[in-house]
Structure 1
């Protein structure tokens, strides 16, 4: 299959490698010509404009960092307009479900799947990144083999936009869990228990969780927050805005998540 790819960075680069290894031809947008060699080393074809990304592409994958970047490349740079009829746009960026829905409304002749991922580059490289997919049943079934080059499980959670909502709830809960561990460490430290000893012990008790295990591996809450805080804060800010727009709130999750992602002003 011919695949167009935008965003071959921290997460996208191993996706390109896995797609190439699975036998796909991958045309990768390169903004900086100095990165062309790195893309070629992955087995991808570096191209410098969106029309070259979309030419003959049955699928275009976008794995940039923010909603603003998605809109920038898809709308402002003309990627969506240049896509082939009956092709498919896959959005791995975590953001607002409204972005995916708006793109789908612009091009009803293509399938738009919002497919945010849960995990890190090592999970992509292992072919075990989790993907939450929102979109049409037929389109999701059609893309399963391609996404399966780097994703397992591939969870179809509803119509276009549903993938983003599930991922945002997931990341809010994850942020809250980190916040709870941070508070537990604060309590333990005041009670005279060393942080490393506490984290190791809790990881073997009834309070264990994936978040706790990841923090224990990092050896401290502060070190773990330093490594993931930027990503988590971005997503919590998005879900706060979406919840407010829909007349609800994060409730107790907000207080716990606030330890990792302090309340931000509306970025829109």
Structure 2
């Protein structure tokens, strides 16, 4: 397939590499000479503006850092308007479900799916990053050859926006579980148990979880939170904004989410 790509950075670069290695023809945005050279090293064709990204593409993948950047590209810019009729826009950025829905409503000549990721660059490079996908059955089926080059599993959650809603619940629970482990470590400290031995022991007990294993591998809750804090903080801000936008709240998860972000 012919694929346009915006956001060939920390997360996007391994996506571009896998797309190229799978035989897709990729043109990726590089606004500076340095970024165009980086795109070329990935095996893709560098282009200097968003109109060129969309030119002739069967699918355009957007993997930028914030929901606001998605809005500027897709609603304020000319990226989606320049896409050919029947092409598919794939939004990997974690954000509001309303962003994908608004883009889909405004640009009826293209299919829009939201496919936020759960995992990191190493998962993408291995072809095993989790994708929570929202979109019509036909749209998801049509773009699956693109998604499956780096996504496994590909979890179709429902119509446009559903992928973002699942990701927001996932991120809320992830932050809350970090907070839960941090509170457990504090309890252990008050009882006189050192954090290292405590974390190691808990990974072998009924309290074991994926998050607990990740924190234990980092050596401490503070070390883990320091390593992922920027990304968790961004995602939690998106969660809070989106839940408020939809007229809800985090309920009893609020205190644990705070502990996971601020510990």
**TM-score of the two chains, using structure 1 as the length reference:** 0.95
The RMSD of aligned alpha carbons is 1.1
Matches of 1:38 and 1:134, distance apart in 2: 31
1:29 aligns with 2:33: no
Once residues 92 and 247 of structure 1 are traced to their aligned partners in structure 2, the CA distance between those partners, rounded to angstroms, is 24
Query: In 2, are the aligned partners of 1:233 and 1:260 still within 8 Å (CA)?
Result: no
Q: Aligned partners of 1:160, 1:204: CA distance in 2, in Å?
A: 40
Map of 1:176 onto structure 2: 176
5+ unaligned residues in a row in structure 1: which ranges? 263-268
Instruction: Please identify, of 20-29 and 30-39, the stretch whose mean Cα deviation from structure 2 is larger.
Output: 30-39
CA distance in 2, matches of 1:8, 1:260: 29
CA distance in 2, matches of 1:86, 1:246: 30
Gaps of 5+ in 2: none
1:229 partner SS: helix
For residues 61 and 182 of structure 1, the distance between their equivalents in structure 2, rounded to whole angstroms, comes to 37
Match in the other structure for 2:52: 52
Task: Report Cα offsets for 1:66-119 as digits up to 9, x if no partner.
Answer: 011001122333101111111000000000001001111111111000000000
Q: Which residue of structure 1 aligns with residue 75 of structure 2?
A: 75
Cα distance in 2, alignment partners of residues 91 and 159 from structure 1: 14
- Give the TM-score taking structure 2 as reference length: 0.97
Q: Which residue of 1 aligns with 2:222?
A: 222
For residues 155-166 of structure 1, the aligned pairs below 5 Å read 155-166=155-166
- CA–CA separation in structure 1 for the residues paired with 2:18 and 2:6: 15
* Separation of aligned partners in 2, 1:99 and 1:92: 12
Match of 1:233 in 2: 233
- 2:116 maps to 116
Tell me the residue number matched to 1:145: 145
SS of structure 2 residue aligned to 1:261: helix
- Counterpart position of 1:134: 134
CA deviations 1:160-218 (Å, max 9, x no partner) are 00000000000000000000000111111122211111111111110011111111111
- Structure 1 Cα separation of the partners of residues 89 and 158 of structure 2: 16
Q: How many residues are aligned here?
A: 262
CA contact (8 A) 2:54 2:82 kept: yes
Q: Deviations over 1:132-161 (max 9, x none)?
A: 000010110111121000000000000000
